[in-house]
Amino acid sequence: MRTQSILRTVCLTLIVMACLSGVQFAQDVAELKASQKSVILFDFRISKWLKEARAAKLDISKAEAFFESGPFIGFKPSQIERIYGSASFPKKFSEVMALRQGVSNELPFDIFVQVRFDTAQSAAKFEASVREYSKVVELGGKKFLQSKDIGPENFVCHRYDELTFEFGTSSYCQQDSRVFLTDRLKQIYRTVPDQSLRIAVDLETPSEFVEEVVGLATEQITDPIVTAYLELVGKANSITGAHSLSADNLLTLRVDSQDDEASKEVTAGLESALATLKLLRGSSFGLPANTDATSVVEELLGSLVAIQDGSSCKIEVPRPKKFFAAVNQLQSLAAANAARAVRMNRFRQVAMACLNFEAALHELPFNYDKNTHETLSWRVKVLPFVDELKMHQAIDLKAGPQGSANSKFATKMPGVFGEGGVLSTVCWIQSTAKGLADITDGTSKTVMLIETPKGRPWLEANPVTVDQAIEMVVGLPEGEELAVVFYDGSVRTVDNSIDKKLLRWLFEPADGNKIPEF
């Protein structure tokens, strides 16, 4: 499992590096040496996986978040048919360290990644995005793209055909063959179930490198448990994995060892690791109680068993009955948490703007002053403190929000005050406090700003009274909450479970009441 995670990370990282890495070549690369052949192979048929997801009515909209950065920006998952690739291992660990320390500027292993798009237009769009950062070089009579910046000197990318774009080290991409596997890896890969995602790792061919890494890690790590797990890696000859949404098993992992005795040790080690994972249980993952997601996690954890079969050890993860409902539920929960985080961060920015205003001018921005029209909002005053100096300078502070000079800004509200560009959800709770020194009940015990779900015109001076704020909180539906900002800049949430009397104490800055921990 760990090897798979590392493999995915390396491959995705190198895809991004292809857009940002410089490549310089002096000569063509001859036929591959035995040590250069791939010992890792992965194949993710995205179109097949999406078909399975649609058949299961799985909400895959959140998968598009992966494409919000990196070379795939602007692409939908459905526009990429397949990602296929392979890689070799370094000969020695010292080569890895040489790259890390800047002694060498070449990848100490070979890698090849092929991305196949759904249409020629998609492939062309991707190539265009890569070309923005690249220049054309010729190598062995073939043209490749290299970045204008510095990067691994043996890495290259190019458009292979109408639908396909390739990344890889020079020794791979120059070969006419698109298969670089050791004979043993080919044999191993044939045993992997034909599913949407397939991975195979040959650990026997690069055994010297594996032994060196395990030996060095064992010398550096003093924890006997970690050391024991590391030693198990040296007893494995290969690792394979397959994933499908339509199969009975979501995931199938197999570790082949040198012999039955080695497999017995590997199985015992995996069982120990699984037992530790099961101790965490679903609730420890921060999942809501009594939901499909919680029950599915519990079921998945309970099904994890390492089974020895001769020199092999297999872990199969059966698909729970409510798996797809749980995934959709988790995605909705994740989306809600992300939206909440954005909302809270927005309030935090406004809070800091108000406090920075007070620090600079020695008064809070909510007070009336002769330089600002009495009907113009405090939000206009803090514009310079939320990176909106130009807008602040363009607004006529002596005119009201409906004045001819200011009306054009009514629909141009900065996003920090709320969504929609018109109504602000961030409102001040009215008080007579002129500065922080007037918050005698304590800045950490007095609420400055409150969230108003319906919003109010952002240009208008429209404070919320204490009584209005109390009724807003008390009237909240069960399970809903409002964000509040204290005069110390902290952002929290309140719901209808808070006593009215305590709310009044929180909203009034100098009533002298001792507020309990909140």
Distance CA 458, CA 132 (A): 40
Distance CA 345, CA 426 (A): 12
- 266-291 pLDDT tens trace: 999 899 888 887 776 644 455 666 67
| pLDDT number for residue 289 | 65
Q: What angle separates helix 224-233 from helix 260-280, to the nearest 10 degrees?
A: 130
pLDDT-wise least confident of 56-65, 96-105, 132-141, 152-161: 56-65
Query: Residue 70 pairs with which residues in a beta bridge?
Result: none
| pLDDT number for residue 22 | 33
DSSP for residue 137: E
| pLDDT number for residue 68 | 56
Q: Is the pLDDT of residue 26 over 80?
A: no
Q: Please, what sign has the CA dihedral across residues 298, 299, 302, 308?
A: negative
pLDDT-wise least confident of 49-58, 109-118, 198-207, 385-394: 49-58
Q: How confident is the model at residue 30 (pLDDT cuts 50, 70, 90)?
A: low
Percent of the chain whose pLDDT exceeds 70: 88
pTM of structure: 0.67
Do β-strands 491-494 and 236-243 pair in parallel, antiparallel, or remain unpaired? unpaired
- 168-179 pLDDT tens trace: 998 898 888 878
Helix ranges, 132-238 (H): 170-173, 183-190, 207-220, 224-233
Q: How confident is the model at residue 424 (pLDDT cuts 50, 70, 90)?
A: very high
pLDDT-wise least confident of 17-26, 107-116, 192-201, 397-406: 17-26
Do β-strands 197-202 and 236-243 pair in parallel, antiparallel, or remain unpaired? antiparallel
| pLDDT number for residue 107 | 87
Which pair of tokens denotes residue 19? 């857009």
pLDDT-wise least confident of 24-28, 162-166, 316-320, 367-371: 24-28
Residue with tokens 């991975």: 199
Distance CA 385, CA 360 (A): 10
Query: CA separation (Å) from 499 to 449, 492, 503?
Result: 19, 16, 6
Q: Residues 317, 251: contact at Cβ < 8 Å?
A: yes
| pLDDT number for residue 227 | 78
| pLDDT number for residue 33 | 84
| pLDDT number for residue 443 | 92
3-state secondary structure 416-435: HHCCCCCEEEEEEECCCCCC
More confident residue, 213 or 71: 213
Maximum Cα interatomic distance, the chain, rounded to a whole number of Å: 87
Q: What angle separates helix 292-303 from helix 323-361, to the nearest 10 degrees?
A: 120
Mean pLDDT in residue range 154-171? 91
